[in-house]
Amino acid sequence: SLCMPKRQLDNIVETLYALDKIAPGTANYDTLLYGIECKYYSARPECENFVLHGTREIYAIGDGAGITRSLSQAAANGLYVADQILAAR
């Protein structure tokens, strides 16, 4: 796999085979997986007022900052931080 570690891919395959016992046909050659998403909510970069430590204008917001858990929350956080940036200028 080029998009994720082998251990995670092995876990997905194992889950497919387990699901196949409950829903026969799930683990077959026609099964297509797409849109696999890995979230790292515990990743919390060191920031002050959303600015990454050691930088001047690199902001950590939304899911990348570990403070939101959905697209709508991340979007709202982006709007909030944009307002803060504009107000500071």
Beta carbons of 16 and 27 less than 8 angstroms apart:
yes
Same domain, residue pair 56 and 80: yes
More confident residue, 86 or 3: 86
- Number of domains within the chain: 2
SS3 49: coil
Q: Please identify which residue in the block is written with the tokens 């082998």.
A: 6
Please give the residue range of the domain that contains residue 12: 1-38
Same domain, residue pair 33 and 52: no
Band (pLDDT 50/70/90 cuts) for residue 16 is very high
Same domain, residue pair 28 and 51: no
Task: For residue range 24-47, list pLDDT tens digits in order.
Answer: 999 998 888 776 666 666 678 888
Same domain, residue pair 51 and 33: no
**pLDDT, position 46:** 87
Same domain, residue pair 10 and 32: yes
Same domain, residue pair 63 and 30: no
Beta carbons of 61 and 83 less than 8 angstroms apart:
no
